Amino acid sequence: MVEMQLVERGIKDARVLDAMRKVPRHRFVDKAYEGLAYEDMPLPIGEHQTISQPYMVAQMTEALQLKGGERVLEIGTGSGYAAAVLAEIAGEVYTIERIKPLADNARQTLADLGYENVRVIAADGTLGWRDAAPYEGIVVTAGGPRVPSSLKEQLRTGGRLVIPVEHEGGFQELIRVTRMGETQYAQDSLGYVRFVPLIGEEGWHQGDGKDHGDPALAGA
Record the pTM: 0.94
Residue 217's pLDDT is 60
- CA distance to 26, 29, 121, 125, 127, per residue, from 23 (Å): 9, 12, 21, 24, 28
- Which residues have a catalytic role annotated? 52
Mean pLDDT across the stretch 164-181?
A: 94
Which H or E element spans position 15? Answer: helix 14-22
Mean pLDDT of the chain: 94
Instruction: Write the pLDDT tens digit of every residue in 4-15.
Output: 999 999 999 999
* The CATH homologous superfamily of the domain defined by 2-193: Vaccinia Virus protein VP39 (3.40.50.150)
